[in-house]
Structure 1
Amino acid sequence: MLKLMQVLWPSFLVAAGAEALFFTVIDPQTLYLFGEPVDYSATATYSIGFFGFWLVGAASSLLTLFFQRSAAQINAPH
Protein backbone atom coordinates (compact mmCIF):
# COMPACT_ATOMS: atom_id res chain seq x y z
CA MET A 1 0.00 0.00 0.00
CA LEU A 2 2.91 2.34 0.76
CA LYS A 3 4.38 1.92 -2.72
CA LEU A 4 0.98 2.64 -4.27
CA MET A 5 0.69 5.88 -2.33
CA GLN A 6 4.27 6.80 -3.24
CA VAL A 7 3.20 6.64 -6.87
CA LEU A 8 -0.35 8.01 -6.80
CA TRP A 9 -0.05 10.97 -4.41
CA PRO A 10 2.83 12.84 -6.10
CA SER A 11 1.35 12.14 -9.53
CA PHE A 12 -2.01 13.53 -8.33
CA LEU A 13 -0.34 16.76 -7.23
CA VAL A 14 1.58 17.06 -10.50
CA ALA A 15 -1.62 16.42 -12.48
CA ALA A 16 -3.46 19.16 -10.58
CA GLY A 17 -0.68 21.64 -11.30
CA ALA A 18 -0.26 20.59 -14.92
CA GLU A 19 -3.98 20.87 -15.57
CA ALA A 20 -4.16 24.30 -13.97
CA LEU A 21 -1.27 25.55 -16.10
CA PHE A 22 -2.47 23.89 -19.31
CA PHE A 23 -6.07 25.06 -19.12
CA THR A 24 -5.04 28.54 -18.03
CA VAL A 25 -3.44 28.91 -21.47
CA ILE A 26 -5.72 26.65 -23.56
CA ASP A 27 -9.50 26.99 -23.86
CA PRO A 28 -11.08 23.50 -23.79
CA GLN A 29 -13.64 24.51 -26.43
CA THR A 30 -10.88 25.32 -28.96
CA LEU A 31 -9.02 22.01 -28.74
CA TYR A 32 -8.57 19.82 -31.82
CA LEU A 33 -7.86 16.08 -31.76
CA PHE A 34 -6.55 14.53 -34.99
CA GLY A 35 -7.76 17.54 -36.97
CA GLU A 36 -11.30 17.41 -35.60
CA PRO A 37 -12.70 19.79 -32.97
CA VAL A 38 -13.32 18.25 -29.55
CA ASP A 39 -17.08 18.07 -29.01
CA TYR A 40 -17.06 17.31 -25.29
CA SER A 41 -18.29 19.67 -22.60
CA ALA A 42 -15.73 21.78 -20.77
CA THR A 43 -16.12 19.63 -17.64
CA ALA A 44 -15.51 16.42 -19.61
CA THR A 45 -12.46 17.95 -21.27
CA TYR A 46 -11.06 19.06 -17.90
CA SER A 47 -11.66 15.57 -16.47
CA ILE A 48 -10.05 13.76 -19.39
CA GLY A 49 -7.11 16.16 -19.25
CA PHE A 50 -6.68 15.65 -15.51
CA PHE A 51 -6.68 11.86 -15.79
CA GLY A 52 -4.26 12.05 -18.73
CA PHE A 53 -1.86 14.22 -16.73
CA TRP A 54 -2.31 11.90 -13.73
CA LEU A 55 -1.43 8.88 -15.86
CA VAL A 56 1.75 10.53 -17.14
CA GLY A 57 2.69 11.58 -13.59
CA ALA A 58 2.02 8.07 -12.27
CA ALA A 59 4.22 6.57 -14.98
CA SER A 60 7.00 8.95 -13.98
CA SER A 61 6.66 8.12 -10.27
CA LEU A 62 6.52 4.40 -11.02
CA LEU A 63 9.73 4.60 -13.05
CA THR A 64 11.39 6.47 -10.19
CA LEU A 65 10.50 3.65 -7.78
CA PHE A 66 11.64 1.07 -10.30
CA PHE A 67 15.06 2.68 -10.74
CA GLN A 68 15.59 3.13 -6.99
CA ARG A 69 15.92 -0.60 -6.42
CA SER A 70 19.30 -1.77 -5.22
CA ALA A 71 21.41 -4.40 -6.97
CA ALA A 72 20.59 -6.86 -4.15
CA GLN A 73 16.85 -6.39 -4.76
CA ILE A 74 17.23 -6.83 -8.49
CA ASN A 75 19.43 -9.93 -8.26
CA ALA A 76 17.57 -11.61 -5.40
CA PRO A 77 16.35 -15.13 -6.21
CA HIS A 78 12.59 -15.39 -6.49
Structure 2
Amino acid sequence: MSGRKIMAIAWPAFLGACLLELLVFALVDPQDVHLPGQPSGWSRQAVYTTAFFAFWVVCMASSALTALLEVPPAEVDRPAKR
Protein backbone atom coordinates (compact mmCIF):
# COMPACT_ATOMS: atom_id res chain seq x y z
CA MET A 1 0.00 0.00 0.00
CA SER A 2 1.42 3.38 -0.95
CA GLY A 3 2.19 6.13 1.52
CA ARG A 4 -0.31 8.35 -0.25
CA LYS A 5 -3.11 5.82 0.28
CA ILE A 6 -2.16 5.36 3.93
CA MET A 7 -2.31 9.12 4.48
CA ALA A 8 -5.63 9.27 2.61
CA ILE A 9 -6.93 6.88 5.28
CA ALA A 10 -5.09 8.18 8.38
CA TRP A 11 -5.55 11.95 7.94
CA PRO A 12 -9.38 12.05 7.67
CA ALA A 13 -9.51 9.50 10.50
CA PHE A 14 -7.33 11.79 12.64
CA LEU A 15 -9.63 14.74 11.96
CA GLY A 16 -12.69 12.61 12.72
CA ALA A 17 -11.14 11.45 16.00
CA CYS A 18 -10.41 15.08 16.94
CA LEU A 19 -14.02 16.03 16.29
CA LEU A 20 -15.35 13.06 18.26
CA GLU A 21 -13.02 13.88 21.14
CA LEU A 22 -14.33 17.45 21.25
CA LEU A 23 -17.97 16.38 21.08
CA VAL A 24 -17.77 13.55 23.61
CA PHE A 25 -15.76 15.41 26.22
CA ALA A 26 -17.86 18.54 25.87
CA LEU A 27 -20.61 16.40 27.39
CA VAL A 28 -18.72 13.87 29.56
CA ASP A 29 -16.30 14.61 32.37
CA PRO A 30 -13.38 12.14 32.25
CA GLN A 31 -13.59 11.73 36.03
CA ASP A 32 -17.14 10.36 35.59
CA VAL A 33 -15.91 7.45 33.46
CA HIS A 34 -16.42 4.18 35.32
CA LEU A 35 -15.43 0.63 34.58
CA PRO A 36 -18.18 -1.89 35.33
CA GLY A 37 -19.12 -1.29 38.95
CA GLN A 38 -16.17 0.88 40.01
CA PRO A 39 -14.38 4.12 39.15
CA SER A 40 -11.58 3.68 36.61
CA GLY A 41 -8.93 5.40 38.73
CA TRP A 42 -7.37 6.89 35.58
CA SER A 43 -6.25 10.49 35.35
CA ARG A 44 -8.09 12.89 33.05
CA GLN A 45 -5.19 12.85 30.62
CA ALA A 46 -5.20 9.03 30.47
CA VAL A 47 -8.93 8.98 29.70
CA TYR A 48 -8.52 11.68 27.00
CA THR A 49 -5.58 9.83 25.41
CA THR A 50 -7.18 6.39 25.48
CA ALA A 51 -10.46 7.71 24.09
CA PHE A 52 -8.68 9.62 21.32
CA PHE A 53 -6.78 6.55 20.14
CA ALA A 54 -9.94 4.42 20.32
CA PHE A 55 -11.80 7.02 18.24
CA TRP A 56 -8.88 7.16 15.79
CA VAL A 57 -8.86 3.37 15.32
CA VAL A 58 -12.62 3.32 14.66
CA CYS A 59 -12.35 6.23 12.21
CA MET A 60 -9.39 4.56 10.44
CA ALA A 61 -11.42 1.38 10.03
CA SER A 62 -14.19 3.45 8.48
CA SER A 63 -11.78 5.27 6.15
CA ALA A 64 -10.07 2.00 5.17
CA LEU A 65 -13.42 0.43 4.34
CA THR A 66 -14.24 3.43 2.17
CA ALA A 67 -10.87 3.10 0.40
CA LEU A 68 -11.50 -0.61 -0.13
CA LEU A 69 -14.95 -0.03 -1.55
CA GLU A 70 -13.74 2.61 -4.02
CA VAL A 71 -11.37 0.16 -5.76
CA PRO A 72 -12.84 -0.66 -9.20
CA PRO A 73 -13.92 -4.29 -9.64
CA ALA A 74 -11.63 -4.69 -12.67
CA GLU A 75 -8.61 -3.93 -10.47
CA VAL A 76 -9.69 -6.43 -7.83
CA ASP A 77 -10.33 -9.22 -10.36
CA ARG A 78 -7.08 -8.64 -12.28
CA PRO A 79 -4.54 -11.50 -11.98
CA ALA A 80 -1.49 -10.78 -9.83
CA LYS A 81 1.78 -9.82 -11.55
CA ARG A 82 4.62 -12.31 -11.21
Aligned residue in 2 for 1:69: 71
Q: Could you tell me which of 45, 48, 55 is aligned with 1:46? A: 48
How many residues are treated as equivalent by the alignment?
78
CA RMSD of aligned residues (A): 0.8
Question: Any stretches of 5+ residues in structure 2 without a counterpart?
Answer: none
Counterpart CA distance in 1 for 2:35 and 2:18 is 22
In the TM superposition, what is the alpha-carbon distance from 1:71 to its structure 2 partner?
1.1
In the TM superposition, what is the alpha-carbon distance from 1:37 to its structure 2 partner?
1.5
In the TM superposition, what is the alpha-carbon distance from 1:38 to its structure 2 partner?
1.3
Q: Which runs of 4+ in 1 moved over 6 A?
A: none
Counterpart CA distance in 2 for 1:61 and 1:35 is 34
* TM norm structure 2: 0.91
* TM norm structure 1: 0.95
Segment drifting more, 52-61 vs 25-34: 25-34
> Percent identity over the alignment?
40
Report Cα offsets for 1:12-44 as digits up to 9, x if no partner.
000000001001100100111233321110001
Amino acid corresponding to residue 75 of structure 1 in structure 2: D
Secondary structure class of the residue paired with 2:49: helix
